[in-house]
Structure 1
Amino acid sequence: MALKEGDFVRLRYTGRVGENIFDTTDEEIAKEEGIYNPQAEYGPVTVRLGSHHVIVGLEDELIGKEVGAEGEVDVPPEKAFGAHEEEQVRSVPATQFREKPKRGTRVEVEGREGIVVDVIGRRAVVDFNHPLAGKTLHYSYAILEKVDDPVEQIAGLIKLFSGRTDIKISIADGVAELALPPAIMYDRRWLVWRGTLIREIFEYNPEIENVVMKETFPRPAKPEAAPEVPGTEEETKEAEE
């Protein structure tokens, strides 16, 4: 059966610009290409078609395909990260940075992230376009399966937004409960995307009336007592005296 907007699918993909891979769900490919991130969760991702969980050009390619389909697609800038706009390249005083700016350095200026593309005297030229703006992307993909279970769908959204796979999920009587691991509140990515996650849970699951996030802190284990080391015969006599 052909896939349509609203379907959740588990997807494997690799994205290239020319010969260079910039994104992949395959850990081995990431290591081979030198883009491996030890903090990332690799493996197939779960996305909802029509929700722009992947770039528009790739999403358009997937809609209408069937589970098991594999293929490749070229995605033009207008269906990827847009055109490269010259007005998004600005000259910024070097005094705005904590450290001396260098070419290729990613910086933040007035809440916007950009890349230093040149340094002229005491000013840095910063490109605020997306690094892939203006580029045609090439994707290879495989649609592994359709995901119908709401628990698996939510787990997929959590991984997609936060990269986490250690949150247990249960749904009962209109309540979706998420069992959060200790110290998750120190995870910046989780905090940034938590609101989006909740909104999408409600949007895609009309039967859910409440989302409960529960943290559990287990009692710390007591330290084991150090074993007694018996003294020598002379030490024992001295202690008795």
Structure 2
Amino acid sequence: MGFKDGDFLLVEYTAKVKETGEIVETTNADKAKEAGIFDESREYGPTLVILGEGRVVKGFEEKLRGLDVGEEASFEVPPEKAYGKRDPAKLRRLPLREFRRANIEPVPGKVVEINGVLAVVRDVSGGRVTVDFNHPLAGKTVVYDVRIVKHVVDDDEKVRLLLKRRFRPKSLDSYKLSLDRENGLVEVEVPADEMTLHNIQAAKKAFARDVFRFLNWASKVVFKEVLVSEEKTGSGKEGAEKASEKEAN
């Protein structure tokens, strides 16, 4: 078929290390449980891949471009097109006292955060800690088993997928959307129980950036927050609504 930059694809995949067969990532909940990598906070199932966005490794995206909807494929991605080759310069030895001062007990294999960057503890000896800033899959060939479930072309569905990715809502259906192509407007009504989501302001900004980037007709995003008086609506009186609109240009 031949996909292009900006195409929205829903993809099922499982990634494993070629050398060991270890599954390191999957969209399938059962496979994640079998591999011991199941994450309860994650929603499993087909995931959104926007070609050209740069959120997936280069070699994976290149292969997706040549597949058809419904087609299953298995392919290898070498280190240079996956997570890069291992760089010895990214191994550092740090004083053990720095970890203890931060109340961190370094043990081999543990992931630690140093100056905002994640690293893996490789060795602890002689009062020094060896940490590795390479990606855990650096130097590895990754094997992907893939199926493209859907090529999304409807703008309403695209917006809902972008909303889902940034807000991770309890129920996507609880968000009301209105798209006005003629005036370049995307309007989102945020349900009351979602207004206090952690980092909701950052999510709004990120969502707006995505909309402007991938919908070439969109120039404005408006968020509506509607609060309804339970007492007044419960007694049969007209509900009092307070709507606050926030625009992103």
On whether the aligned pair clears a TM of 0.5, the verdict is yes
- Work out whether residues 161 and 197 of structure 1, in 8 Å CA contact, stay in contact via their aligned partners in 2: yes
SS where residue 199 of structure 1 aligns?
helix
Residues 1:171 and 2:176 are matched in the alignment: no
Residues 1:109 and 2:117 are matched in the alignment: no
- Distance verdict in 2 for CA 1:86–1:220, change over 3 Å: farther
SS where residue 82 of structure 1 aligns?
coil
What residue number does 1:20 align with? 22
- Work out whether residues 176 and 212 of structure 1, in 8 Å CA contact, stay in contact via their aligned partners in 2: yes
Structure 1 residue 171 displacement after superposition: 1.9
Partner deviation per Cα, 1:50-96 (whole Å, 9 max, x = no partner): 22232111110011322111101100011111111011110112222
Residues 1:208 and 2:237 are matched in the alignment: no
Structure 1 stretches lacking a partner, 5+ long: 222-241
Structure 1 residue 115 displacement after superposition: 0.8
SS where residue 44 of structure 2 aligns?
coil
- Following superposition of structure 1 onto structure 2, how do residues 223-234 of structure 1 map, counting pairs within 5 Å? none
What residue number does 1:231 align with? none
Aligned counterparts of 1:10 and 1:215: Cα–Cα separation in 2: 30
Q: Which amino acid aligns with 2:81?
A: K
User: Structure 1 residues 165-174 or 85-94, which shifts more?
Assistant: 165-174
Aligned counterparts of 1:81 and 1:192: Cα–Cα separation in 2: 28
Aligned match for 1:100, one of 74, 88, 105: 105
Q: Which TM-score applies when normalising by structure 1?
A: 0.81
Partner deviation per Cα, 1:158-177 (whole Å, 9 max, x = no partner): 44456546452432342223
What residue number does 2:241 align with? none
Q: Which TM-score applies when normalising by structure 2?
A: 0.78
Aligned counterparts of 2:139 and 2:168: Cα–Cα separation in 1: 27
Structure 1 residue 192 displacement after superposition: 6.2
Structure 1 residue 150 displacement after superposition: 1.8
CA RMSD in angstroms comes to 2.3
SS where residue 38 of structure 1 aligns?
coil
SS where residue 159 of structure 2 aligns?
helix
Aligned counterparts of 1:162 and 1:92: Cα–Cα separation in 2: 38
Percent identical across equivalent pairs?
A: 36
- Distance verdict in 2 for CA 1:209–1:73, change over 3 Å: same
Q: Which amino acid aligns with 1:177?
A: E
How many residue pairs align between the two structures? 218
Residues 1:123 and 2:136 are matched in the alignment: no
Structure 1 residue 216 displacement after superposition: 4.7
Structure 2 stretches lacking a partner, 5+ long: 232-249
Aligned match for 1:198, one of 195, 208, 215: 208
What residue number does 1:10 align with? 10
SS where residue 6 of structure 1 aligns?
coil
Structure 1 residue 208 displacement after superposition: 1.1
- Distance verdict in 2 for CA 1:9–1:31, change over 3 Å: same
Aligned counterparts of 1:119 and 1:110: Cα–Cα separation in 2: 19
What residue number does 2:246 align with? none
- Distance verdict in 2 for CA 1:95–1:155, change over 3 Å: farther
What residue number does 1:232 align with? none
Query: Higher Cα Rg: structure 1 or 2?
Result: 1
SS where residue 61 of structure 2 aligns?
helix
Structure 1 residue 157 displacement after superposition: 3.1
